[in-house]
Amino acid sequence: MALPWFAFVPLVAVLLLGPGLDTILWSVFACVVVLAFGLAGMVGYQFPMQYDTGLIEFYNMVCIVGLVMILSILAFVFGESHKKAMATIQAQNRRLEEESEQRRRLLEEANEREFFLRQSQQVGQIGGWRADPVNNTLMWTEGVYNIIEMPLDFKPDLESAMDNFLLPDSRALLADSLKSALVTGEPFSIQVQIQAAKSEITKWGELRGQPHRDTEGRIDYLMGTIQDISARKHAEMALQESEFRFKSIIQSSPIPLALNNEQGEITYLNPSFVSVFGYTLDDIPRLENWWPRAYPDAVYRQWVLDTWLEHLEISKRDGTAFERMEINMRAKDGSMRVVLASAAPLQCNYNGEHMVVLVDITDQKQIEMRLAQSESRLRTIIDAEPECIILLDEHGRLVEMNPAGLAMIEADSLTQVKNQPVFGIITPPYRSAFSEMIEHVLMGESMTLEFEIIGLKGTHRWLETHSVPWRDGEQTLLLGVTRDVTERKRAEDEIRRYKEHLEEEVQQRTLDLVQARDAADQASRAKSAFLANMSHEIRTPMNGVIGMTDVLLNTPLTPEQAKMARLIHESANSQLAILNDILDFSKIEAGKLDLVSAPFSLGDVVGKICAMLDSVASGNGVALTSHVSPAIPSALEGDALRVRQILSNLLTNAIKFSSGLGRKGNVDISAQLAGDEGERLWIELVVRDNGIGMDTATLDRVFHPFTQADSSTTRKYGGTGLGLVITSRLVEMMDGSLRVDSAPNLGSAFTLRLPFLQADVAKLAGANEATPLASAIVSTDASARKILVAEDNKINQEVIYQQLDMLGYQSDIANDGRDAFALWLRGDYGLLLSDIHMPNMDGYQLAQSIRDEERKVGAIRMPIVALTANVLKGEADYCKEVGMDDYLAKPVTLPLLKAMLEKWLLNSAEAASPATEEPQAETGDAIVFEPQILTKIVGDNPVLIRRLLEMFLANTEEWIADLHAAADTDDALAAGLVAHSLKSGARTVGAMQMGALFERIEKTGRAGDLAFKSLLPSLKVSFEMTKQAIKIFLGESGPD
């Protein structure tokens, strides 16, 4: 049976209207009505109509349909509810995820804040604590563990923590602070010392705490922080130490310092201020007391005050240093002082204090004034110099030029060319060489260069410049001395052209000349060979004549016979000497003269020659003296025979040309060590005489064979003229050199330099000790005791040697105390003259060593006399303390020296006279050159005076260079030692101003004060003035 149509109404409604709540409810209601209607029919309810069996089936169908509909709708409704529930669950899951993410972010932020707090505490070295003193409990944060260097699992109580990690004083302080906080409820802050656990170092901590109250207001525990402030405490202590050092520096500073505040009060004066200016705080408690006393002139005082305030204002406004002022101020004693004044605020001072610095430059200003005067004199000398003097900087720019130089480059004034490069006037081919010369000179070399210039007005010139480095403060300049060599270059060009013109002719004639020369050489060799071979035949009969006349002179003869025999003897000797010269010269020319090297004693050679010639010299009225330096080794290796021949020739000539002049002749030979090259030694021998001398023309030909000074010399003195030629050739064969210095009527000096090898003394088998010549030739009134001299200055050595020689004393010269002590051990000396300050061993040490050795061996006490330039009372007393007997102040005059020697050599039992203090001259008042001083010392001996002055000028430049080298290396002590050596030498020759300057340099150098550098410019100027004065003296009153 088909379903009734209304059975589909609820389903259709749901499908059409959708599964809304209203539709579902109405559909369910309709289904219930249908179901109820069907059930009612089935149970037999009576309706107004009659039903049949079909109707009953209908009601059954309706019930079934209603049930089906209800079930369908319920199934549909339950499906929709499930969907909604799932959607709700999903939405809740999403909310839970969002809340979880939010909680995760909050946790990360909390962790970051905790990490930041922990890092902050670590960086700030701070930690937190909580303590309950009543229950003895304690809790720390990680920062506290880090400070005390304990692991995090360490759980301390309050008492053990205080006992183990706080020093006793800090422990008591914390206990009092905790007790006070518990009683008063007030917070506290203290500084404690902590003993770290691992490093065991003591740290400083700043501990802060405050009470915590419960809800009822009772203090239940204390809490707070502790911070490691060790670095701050160390900085504070360092600051305190720095302040102490600052105060100490101000107190001990040699520069006058003062402090004043903004209220005008002078709060402090250091000892140097009081010492230099005399004022104390009682004299000048305020600035208004200071100004009128220091600056009595009102106008000048106002200028100083205005300028001072202006400089202070500029310094404050711009934040720059105070510009120093040079002012004149009056000291308490009324003297005027020149000072450099400056001021600076004390940065760490809150009272507005300023430190005033007043550097006293009075002495410096006086030196500058004297230096300016010296520079003015030097400028006058330079301006008068006929050659060009020029100063260039590293870029070749002109810094200075004298008038002669301006005229040379055709400049109207220095302004026209100053600071301009000189390359513009140098012709292009020479600019590169000139630039290289500047570079080399500025690196410390000296150079000479020829170059061509075109003057500012177009004139071509050839110049030759010799350039050296010149130190001007921090800058090195080129100093050049330039001369015009245009005429010389023109002559050279003419000669070059002439040479080129004759070159072909010369080449042709050279062939002819070579052939002629070969023939001449062959003939000369044949002649020389013949003469050399005839040596034996010629010398034998001559020796027979001389020998027989010697025998004849020793037999009884009448006066007339003796006269004739002596004439024969002298003639034979003269002829033999001539023959010897000719034969030796022939051997040399023929190349048959050989040198033989063997050990020998130079002292023995000199002594024997002088002993041999002493009678000859005495017979001719000539005094013969000698000196061999003890520095020369006892054994040398060389040709002793040829050395004897050379010296014999020189001494024979010196005796011959010093006799018969109406005055006493003097001939002296000296030997000294001139150089040490390891195995090879250079010996310098000098033969001096006061004979007839030689002029320039004679000097030019003196070493030419068969020549003499002139025909009158030949007639008067005889000879072949070969002696000096042979001597010169022998010196050349021995790789030595020979130089002669001479002037007419003033004598001659032959300087011989020969190289020798140092030999073993043992090889001098059977050799006699060197003959002490002095003992044989000193004057009859001289003492028999030899004098030992210890002196390091060459000039002083020469002076004392000549003085002793004039007084008739033998002497040995030692270069320092060590050499003198060695000589004393080996020799027998009557007296020691010793300088005080010497290298290796000074005079004090020498005297002590000799006295110690005398006591050790029981020797007789030898008198020791000190030679010193500074015989002050204290130094004289010290000389006595170390064992010296007396002293002489340099320069030593002949009468004083003679009296001293007679006193100790003839009356050794007498005591030494008391010391006298020698006044010391100021540099500014010292005379530049006093020639009479040297005359008083060595007597009226023009030759010796000239030699000493020339030696002084030659050596002083090297000495001054040594001083500059010491200045470059800031070696003040070395400068003092050099200046000490120079001081007495300068005063000995009469260079008094230089002596005073050397004395000042010595004092500052020995004190380690680099201020000696400021004296070097004055020394250079003084040396130039002294050199000029000596040259004028030698030109006017000395020998030419």
- Measured between alpha carbons, how far is residue 32 from residues 58, 64, 66, 79, 721 in Å? 16, 11, 7, 20, 179
pLDDT for 19: 53
Residue that has been written with the tokens 């020659």 in this structure: 609
* For residue 767, pLDDT beyond 50: no
Band (pLDDT 50/70/90 cuts) for residue 911 is very low
pLDDT at 461 over 50: yes
Report for 228-232, 261-265, 451-455, 493-497: range of highest mean pLDDT = 451-455
Q: Which helix (H) or strand (E) holds 569?
A: helix 559-590
Confidence of residue 303 (pLDDT cuts 50, 70, 90): very high
Q: Half-sphere exposure (CA, 13 Å, Cβ side) for 155?
A: 2
Calculate mean pLDDT across residues 814-831. Answer: 90
Token pair belonging to 392: 């260039």
pLDDT in tens, 691-721: 888 888 777 777 766 554 454 454 445 555 5
Q: What is the pLDDT of residues 805-820, one digit of tens each?
A: 878 788 899 999 999 9
pLDDT-based confidence at 518, cuts 50/70/90? confident
How far apart CA 769 and CA 774 sit, in angstroms, is 14
pLDDT at 555: 64
Going by C-beta distance under 8 Å and a sequence separation of 6 or more, which residues neighbour residue 564?
none
Reading the block at residue 556, the tokens are 């009884």
H or E, element range at 814: strand 811-814
- What tokens does 683 get? 């010996």
- Helix residue spans in 834-893 (DSSP H): 843-857, 873-881
Please give the helix or strand (H or E) that residue 996 lies within, else none.
helix 992-1006
- The residue among 833, 801, 788 whose CA lies nearest residue 951 is 801
Question: Does 133 have pLDDT greater than 90?
Answer: no
pLDDT of amino acid 450: 92
How many H helices and E strands in the chain? Answer: 33, 27
* Per-residue tokens: 736: 């030595």
**Mean pLDDT: which of 335-349, 488-502, 660-674, 764-778 is highest?**
660-674
Q: What is the mean pLDDT of residues 209-238?
A: 86
Identify the pLDDT of residue 536.
Answer: 45
What single-letter amino acid sits at 129?
W
pLDDT at 13 over 60: no
| Cβ 466 vs Cβ 485: under 8 Å | no
ω into 891 cis (within 30 of 0): yes
Cα atoms found within 13 Å of the Cα of residue 899, Cβ hemisphere only: 10
Q: At what angle do helices 894-906 and 794-806 cross, to 10 degrees?
A: 70
Question: What pLDDT score was predicted for residue 52?
Answer: 57
If you average pLDDT over every residue of the chain, what do you get? 79
**pLDDT > 90? residue 438:** yes
- Has residue 690 got a pLDDT over 80? yes
The whole-number pLDDT of residue 711 equals 46
Mean pLDDT comparison of 116-130, 196-210, 558-572, highest-scoring range: 196-210
How is residue 671 written in tokens?
Answer: 């030997």
Confidence at 355, pLDDT banded by 50, 70, 90: confident
Assess contact for 655 and 621: CB atoms under 8 A: no
Residues 60-78: tens digit of each pLDDT: 676 676 677 667 766 666 6
Check if the beta carbon of residue 344 is closer than 8 Å to that of residue 322: yes
The percent of residues above 70 in pLDDT, for the chain, comes to 77
Q: Is 489 exposed, middle or buried (0-12, 13-18, 19+ CB in 10 A)?
A: middle
Give the pLDDT of residue 983: 84
Q: State the SS3 of 64-83.
A: HHHHHHHHHHHHHHHHHHHH
Structure tokens at 806: 């004039």
Q: Per-residue pLDDT for 915 more than 50?
A: no
Distance CA 929, CA 990 (A): 5
How many whole angstroms separate alpha carbon 1016 and alpha carbon 665? Answer: 44
* Model pLDDT, residue 134: 84
Residues 36-57 have pLDDT tens digits of 666 665 555 444 444 456 666 7
Q: Which of 158, 123, 159, 157 lies closest to 142 in space, CA to CA?
A: 123
Higher pLDDT pick, 122 / 162:
162
Per-residue pLDDT band for 780 (boundaries 50, 70, 90) equals: very low
**Of all helices (H) and strands (E), which one includes residue 738?**
strand 737-743
667-688, pLDDT tens digit by residue?
A: 999 999 998 887 789 999 999 9
- Read off the pLDDT of each residue in 732-747 and give the average, rounded to a whole number: 90
* pLDDT at 327 > cutoff 70: yes
What's the confidence (pLDDT) of residue 920?
Answer: 42
Distance between CA atoms of residues 743 and 1040, nearest Å: 7
Lowest mean pLDDT among 298-302, 516-520, 672-676, 732-736: 516-520
